[in-house]
């Protein structure tokens, strides 16, 4: 007999989660990326208005920064170019960096560095916030490529969904009409 009240309570709770009012509340921000790269867990959230909140955490530290979606997309393109860069000649070293900085108070930066030294190649991802706390992890080539692709998808999903209305150009006033020429007779 006690089973029925518990079931009805669960049904009411379940329906409240799927109600239109809760759907509107959840639509304010949505998660466009949740993945693990190296030792870092990532979550990227957006409101779909051109900015993203990037959260990254390791075992000890959590960092949250705000980036413009266009900057994040450019960063992912730069990371792709860094990862595709040709290795230097045998015996030489090279280092490539791709950095994105966020604007405003909750800014921060995300940097991927690829270093090639004779006999060793390393890829390191560093994320810092405005208080200079940071999280860092080494990545494999596969993880770095997957991260670049995922960040590009997240950035594209965060771009504004509507094009802002353009202001109409003011209508030009036509030149004044000339009076008809009179014919003198």
What is the dotted CATH code of the domain comprising 28-158? 3.30.2450
Q: What is the pLDDT of residue 176?
A: 73
Please report where in the chains the tokens 């109600």 appear, as a residue.
19
Q: What is the pLDDT of residue 170?
A: 67
Tens digit of pLDDT for each residue in 85-135?
888 888 888 889 998 887 765 578 899 999 988 888 899 999 998 888 889
Please identify every stretch of the chain with a pLDDT value under 50, giving residue numbers as ranges. 1-26
The DSSP H or E segment spanning 128 is strand 120-129
- Residues 68 and 49 sit within 8 Å (Cβ to Cβ): no
Instruction: Give the predicted TM-score (pTM) of the model.
Output: 0.68
CA 159 to each of CA 26, 43, 98, 134: distance values in angstroms, whole numbers, following the listed order: 18, 17, 21, 27
- Distance separating alpha carbons of residues 170 and 154, to the nearest angstrom: 38
Residue boundaries of the structural domains of the chain: 28-158
Q: What is the pLDDT of residue 169?
A: 64
Residue 57 in tokens:
């955490």
CA 139 to each of CA 86, 129, 166: distance values in angstroms, whole numbers, following the listed order: 18, 20, 44
- Residues 158 and 50 sit within 8 Å (Cβ to Cβ): yes
Q: What is the pLDDT of residue 10?
A: 35
Q: What is the pLDDT of residue 165?
A: 66
- Residues 44 and 54 sit within 8 Å (Cβ to Cβ): yes
């Amino acid at each position: 007999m006690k089973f029925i009240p518990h079931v009805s309570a669960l049904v009411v709770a379940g329906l409240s989660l799927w109600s239109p009012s809760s759907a509107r509340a959840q639509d304010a921000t949505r998660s466009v990326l949740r993945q693990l790269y190296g030792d870092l867990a990532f979550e990227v959230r957006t409101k779909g208005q051109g900015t993203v909140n990037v959260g990254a955490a390791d075992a000890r530290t959590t960092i949250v920064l705000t980036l413009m979606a266009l900057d994040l997309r450019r960063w992912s393109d730069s990371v792709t170019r860094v990862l595709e860069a040709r290795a230097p000649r045998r015996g030489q070293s090279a280092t490539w960096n791709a950095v994105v900085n966020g604007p405003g108070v909750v800014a921060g930066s995300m940097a991927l560095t690829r270093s090639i030294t004779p006999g060793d190649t390393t890829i390191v991802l560093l994320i810092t916030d405005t208080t200079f706390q940071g999280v860092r992890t080494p990545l494999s080539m596969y993880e770095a490529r997957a991260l670049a692709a995922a960040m590009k998808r997240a950035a594209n999903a965060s771009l504004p969904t509507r094009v802002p209305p353009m202001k109409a150009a003011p209508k030009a006033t036509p030149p004044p009409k000339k009076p008809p020429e009179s014919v003198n007779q």
